[in-house]
Structure 1
Amino acid sequence: MRISTFSSQELIMKVMTLQFPQASALASRRLRCFMQHVSSSSSANGQTESNITLLTPVVTYDPKTLAQGSPFPPTTPGVLRLYNMRFCPFAQRTKLVLEHKKIPHETINVNLKYKPDWFLKLSPLGLVPVLQLDDLVLPESTATCDWLDDTFPGQTRLTPSDSLRRAWDRVLLENVGKISDTFYALRRKADLKDKILDKLEKRLRWFETILSDREGPYFGGNQPAMIDFLLWPHFERLPALTLLTSNSRITPDPHHLPRLAAWMEIMLQLPAVKAVLQNTNAHAHFFASFGTGSPDYDFGLEE
């Protein structure tokens, strides 16, 4: 059994400095509960104050989504769990960091239209991702990714040490959501297609300029950084939107956006991206099913 060990003292100090301005009071209470859990003289695993063990899960759950009425899948002390939805770009961020850092974890996929009652107790807003480890319950993609990077730095931290670079990464993160808005705007407002595509092209050119100013093929430089994994899920879905709309203006190509096109190609070669990737047809199918009001969360899974 593979075990990852990390310092509880460093974890406590970092968690205490995190700020989640949009977090609910319940989420804040759960964070405090986790800090108490980490700082206690013994954990649920019987570990000492200085260490918490993270165990490799020995149970593999069915990848199909759990919906309303399904029983709660029992947790195992010391096993990190991700509550996920296979086609959610935000949950994919957390999954990418888990895979890239090779952090032992198990995944529970949740039906987000017909949510189980036990999931709503863990995530009152009904959103994924959510991480759970014993008494820890932590929601939101950026919060979970930051916590994973702080807790399991590995050989190289994904978050840059330079404060200005971190600030600019935040700017990129704030703007990538506008790309995702295009997915739904094009389907809801077909009569405004040209204006929507003009805005999308402008945003993509902006990302192209930022990437051109950075050293290396990644937004993180010569190696992928946290910002690459936070941005990737939104770009991964662009070819599916191209397929659905038959419009080549959507996906970056080597002639018009060469740096972005090269970045997308090199991201596709990362083991973490390969492990989590949904192909273009799968994304297109999910978008189409979402538009009908019956999202096909389990598309592509064997019966």
Structure 2
Amino acid sequence: MHTQPDTHSASTQQTITLISHKLCPYVQRAAIVLAEKGIEFERVYIDLANKPDWFLNISPLGKTPVLLTGQQAIFESSAICEYLDDVFKPGLHPEDPVTRARHRGWMEFGSSVLNAIGGYYNAKDGDRLNHQAGLIQQKFEQLEAEISDGPFFNGQHFSMVDAVFAPVFRYFDLFDQISETDFFASAPRVRQWRNHLSRCESVQHAVAENYTQMLADFVLQRQSELSKKITNELLPS
């Protein structure tokens, strides 16, 4: 961990529960922030294909994550992460207002990379697959021009942008095994950043140990061009 929670905050006395889905990258963001701040929390997993009524009552958009703190439910990962950063100090955002605003912009950029990744694993033919791979590479090239010399996005300190991109990079633990594309060929600093984040305990513990196998099964079910590259060895036993 890279930060310590504010033990004087009244909210630290409340039970915190993270309503989760096992593959959701937005859940991972919240779990990573909670871990980086040393906040103890419980996780409750739901099936997004069969959402229980109690979940729909607390998640207006029907999405994970939802954070339960005391009697309150906070939905949407960005709202959850901002709440945690406001309440549990020190913060993961930079102090400088302009830098902080730019970080929030790059967090949104992270969501756009996730959208491109979704287009990649859902592509129905080779041309579309290659097109989406090119979009992802372009986005990493944009990142390459922005990130620091590391080890984190903004230098020596873990930030909210790191919490956003760690789940993005985790997809490539599978893609590296089934794709011939080197997504980081033109982004060596992004590659180093990815590798460093993968060694952080908060990132490692944000998912189950068999996450990559579950992701392979998920991609297989897409019946997409990428699905054809999934072998039995990659699937859950």
Smaller-chain TM-score bracket: 0.7 to 0.9
Aligned to 2:205: 275
Q: Indicate if the aligned counterparts of 1:217 and 1:259 stay in contact, CA closer than 8 A.
A: no
Query: C-alpha deviations, 1:114-172, integer Å up to 9, x for none?
Result: 0011111111321111111222110111111111111111xx32111111211221221
Bigger shift: 170-179 or 125-134? 170-179
The runs of at least 4 consecutive aligned structure 1 residues that moved more than 6 Å come to: none
**Range with bigger deviation, 113-122 or 234-243:** 234-243
- 3-state SS, counterpart of residue 181 of structure 2: coil
Deviation larger for 198-207 or 103-112: 198-207
- Structure 1 position 157 matched with structure 2 position 91: yes
Q: Which residue of 2 aligns with 1:207?
A: 143
The structure with the greater share of residues assigned to helix is: 2
Deviation per CA, 1:22-62: give whole Å up to 9, x if none.
xxxxxxxxxxxxxxxxxxxxxxxxxxxxx4552xxxxxxxx
Q: TM-score with structure 1 length normalisation?
A: 0.65
Q: Which runs of 5+ in 2 are unaligned?
A: 224-234
Letter in 1 for 2:110: V
Amino acid corresponding to residue 20 of structure 2 in structure 1: N
Q: Secondary structure at the match of 1:137?
A: strand
- Name which of 258, 278, 285 aligns with 2:188: 258
Counterpart among 206, 217, 220 of residue 288 in structure 1: 220
- Deviation of the 1:287 alpha carbon: 2.6
The residue that corresponds to 1:106 in the other structure is: 42
Larger Rg: 1
1:130 is aligned to 66
| Equivalent pair of 1:220/1:226 in contact (CA under 8 Å) | no
Q: Which amino acid aligns with 1:225?
A: S
Q: Which residue of 1 aligns with 2:163?
A: 229
Corresponding residue for residue 26 of structure 1? none
The yes-or-no answer on 1:119 pairing with 2:49 is: no
**Does structure 1 retain, via aligned residues, the 8 Å contact 2:30–2:65?**
yes
Partner of 2:18: helix, strand, or coil? strand
Q: Secondary structure at the match of 1:102?
A: coil
Distance across 2 between alignment mates of 1:206 and 1:53: 38
Looking at structure 2, the residues matched to 147 and 238 of structure 1 have their Cα atoms a distance apart, in angstroms, of: 29
Percent of aligned pairs sharing the same letter? 28
Q: Distance in 2 between matches of 1:110 and 1:281?
A: 19
Provide the C-alpha distance between the structure 1 equivalents of 2:168 and 2:95, rounded to a whole number of angstroms. 25
Aligned to 1:166: 100
**Structure 2 SS opposite 1:218:** coil
Task: State the alpha-carbon separation in 1 of the partners of residues 94 and 193 from structure 2.
Answer: 19
- Report the Cα offset of residue 6 of structure 1: 4.1
Preserved CA contact (<8 Å) 1:183 1:241: no
What is the count of residue pairs matched by the alignment?
218
Q: Give the C-alpha shift of residue 89 in structure 1.
A: 0.3
TM-score (norm 2): 0.82
The CA RMSD measured in Å over matched residues stands at 2.4
Task: Give, in angstroms, the shift of residue 283 of structure 1.
Answer: 2.3
Contact 1:89 1:233 in 2 (8 A): yes
